[in-house]
Amino acid sequence: MRQTGLRAEILVNIILITAAAMFLIGIIAFKLTERSAVEGDINGVKAVISALEGSYLTKGDLGGGAEFLERVLNPGAWGIIELGGRRVYFDTRSAGDEEPKTDPLLLEAVTAGDTVIGFEGVNFPPFTAFDGLKVAAPVRPAGGPAGAVFVYQPLGPLQESLLLNRRLIALWIILFLVIITLFGFYILSRRIVRPVHELIKTTEKIGAGKFYESADIGGVKEINRLYDALRKMYAEIESGRKKLGDKIAELEEANAELRLVQGELVAAEKLASLGRLSAGVAHEIGNPLSAIKGYAEVMMRAQDVDDGKRAAFLRNLLDEVGRIDRIIRTLLDYSRPKSVSPRALDVNETASKTADLVNSQGVLKNIGLRLDLAPGVPPIEADPGQLSQVIINLILNARDALGGEGEIVISTSDGGGEVAIKVSDNGPGIGPEIRDKIFDPFFTTKDPGHGTGLGLSVSARIVETFGGRIEVKSEPGKGAAFSLVFPAAGDHEKRESPGN
């Protein structure tokens, strides 16, 4: 939308308002001038008729009266003098003009007994253009018979005079319009526009963070109130800014304290994790070490042990040493994962091969293993051996939770950019009190010697290596479902490229 300046807007409005006012005043002036001029002509004709009546009609000299009228009236005038049944026409028009006729105004004047005025031309207020004036007046000279006089006088000279007066009035109107416009523009610019510009400067200074103190806003009440409102607004802004600065300082101080407390909490959590890890390692390694110590003491005390028992003791010793070795290797896998070779994998194929491998080992016995694989699942980027290791670990955990009877289902699905492999069972489920602990190292609900508590933590670490995550859904009595969620192969590359 096109915008105009305040000065231009004021100037245009002043011109429009003044022009409208001058136009109305001009019309009034035109009408007053016209009325005054016409009344002057009417009075002049009446005076001529009165002079005719006093000088000629009292003597009955109708011919002299006609000559008198022809001399004193404007060129082009004509009329009728009627007295005592006699009638005389007078006509100042040029030869060949239409013969004068009796006008209805003459009969109207005789009937009414009073002077009657009429006009020829256009009479449509406020626009009038009179061509001629008609005056019909009854006469009755002293001691003489009654009669009447009709006079038609053209108003050409009057129209010329009115036209001149109208031009003079129009010139005065134009002059007054210019003067009023310039004077009004000067006054309004001084009292309105300049204070408004000062308010604009003040507002701009407030936006820049300062207050424009040298503003000359004049004496207009509303503008002064607006300036005071701006001053109060600036004071409130400054007060709010100061309070905000104080709050920011308080927040920065609180953040510093929070960072210090957070550091202390992180250190404490590290110590607690180290303590739990140490306790778990000590507990898991302590049992086989105790067994090794017991076998060694028996072999030292019993010197006459036959070869069969000695071989049995040595086998037990090797089993316990192997158990310790497995615990340490699993712990190393958790803290320092092995090098992997990820490639595009068909999750349906991997899940099917893993299920065949588990079934071939005969570890499930009375537990059913069923596949529910969605068609057209996109590939993922992962190491096939480690992915199978994670799936097998989830299957074995589900087997242990079922207690020897139930069903395990391996299913796959495509979630729009993400691929999920879900291992679910219909066992007793996982209680909410331990759900947040199942991925902690060395946390297990199995009996001593039947689990290290590192299976799920290592599995979670493997899944995270390939950009995925493990989700758990379980309710007591309704089984448990572990979902391995990975980005599809294309989305995985997109996620990795910004980091690279």
For residue 114, is it within any domain? yes
Paired residues of 326 in beta bridges: none
pLDDT higher than threshold 90 for residue 419: yes
pLDDT digits (tens, 9 = 90+) for 284-316: 677 677 778 777 777 777 766 677 777 877 787
| Pick from 7-11, 76-80, 190-194, 446-450: least confident | 446-450
Average pLDDT, the chain: 78
- The confidence score (pLDDT) of residue 301 equals 74
Paired residues of 362 in beta bridges: none
Length of the chain: 500
Asked if 202 contacts 227 with a C-beta cutoff of 8 angstroms, the reply is yes
Residues 348 and 323 placed together within one structural domain of the fold = no
Residues 304 and 345 placed together within one structural domain of the fold = no
Per-residue pLDDT band for 499 (boundaries 50, 70, 90) equals very low
The more confident residue out of 273 and 283 is 283
Q: Is the dihedral of CA 284, 285, 286, 292 positive or negative?
A: positive
The arithmetic mean of pLDDT across residues 335-358, rounded, is: 79
- Tokens describing residue 285: 């390694």
For residue 185, is it within any domain? no
The arithmetic mean of pLDDT across residues 52-74, rounded, is: 86
Rounded to 5 degrees, φ, ψ at 138 are -75, 145
- The confidence score (pLDDT) of residue 409 equals 93
Per-residue pLDDT band for 498 (boundaries 50, 70, 90) equals very low
- The C-alpha R_g of the chain, in whole angstroms, comes to 61
Per-residue pLDDT band for 262 (boundaries 50, 70, 90) equals low
Residues 396 and 267 placed together within one structural domain of the fold = no
Q: Which long-range contacts (CB under 8 A, 24 or more apart) does 17-24 make?
A: 18/177, 18/180, 18/181, 18/184, 19/177, 22/173, 22/176, 22/177, 23/173
Per-residue pLDDT band for 496 (boundaries 50, 70, 90) equals very low
Residues 307 and 353 placed together within one structural domain of the fold = no
Residues near 129 by Cβ (< 8 Å), separated by ≥ 6? 121, 122, 159
As for how many domains the chain has, the answer is 3
Residues 362 and 316 placed together within one structural domain of the fold = no
For residue 194, is it within any domain? no
Could you give the percent of the chain with pLDDT greater than 70? 79
State whether residue 237 is helix, strand or coil: helix
Per-residue pLDDT band for 175 (boundaries 50, 70, 90) equals confident
Residues 420 and 485 placed together within one structural domain of the fold = yes
| Pick from 30-44, 284-298, 431-445: least confident | 431-445
- The confidence score (pLDDT) of residue 500 equals 37
Give the E-state strand segments of 395-434 in sequence order.
Answer: 406-414, 418-425
pLDDT higher than threshold 50 for residue 270: no
For residue 400, is it within any domain? yes
Residues 350 and 487 placed together within one structural domain of the fold = yes
pLDDT higher than threshold 60 for residue 267: no
The more confident residue out of 379 and 186 is 379
CATH at residue 145:
3.30.450.20
CATH at residue 322:
1.10.287.130
| Residue whose token pair is 């950009």 | 467
Residues near 112 by Cβ (< 8 Å), separated by ≥ 6? none
Alpha-carbon gap, residue 105 to 107, rounded angstroms:
5
Most confident of 32-41, 366-375, 483-492: 366-375
Residues 260 and 151 placed together within one structural domain of the fold = no
Per-residue pLDDT band for 153 (boundaries 50, 70, 90) equals confident
DSSP conformational letter for 192: I
Range of the domain at 145: 6-179
Residues 300 and 374 placed together within one structural domain of the fold = no
Question: Last residue of a domain, which of 271, 305, 335?
Answer: 335
Residues 478 and 362 placed together within one structural domain of the fold = yes
The more confident residue out of 444 and 89 is 89
Residues 277 and 328 placed together within one structural domain of the fold = yes
pLDDT higher than threshold 90 for residue 155: no
Question: Last residue of a domain, which of 280, 305, 335?
Answer: 335
- The confidence score (pLDDT) of residue 285 equals 72
* Four-CA torsion 187, 193, 197, 199, nearest 10 degrees: 90
pLDDT digits (tens, 9 = 90+) for 114-134: 889 888 877 666 666 778 888
For residue 212, is it within any domain? no
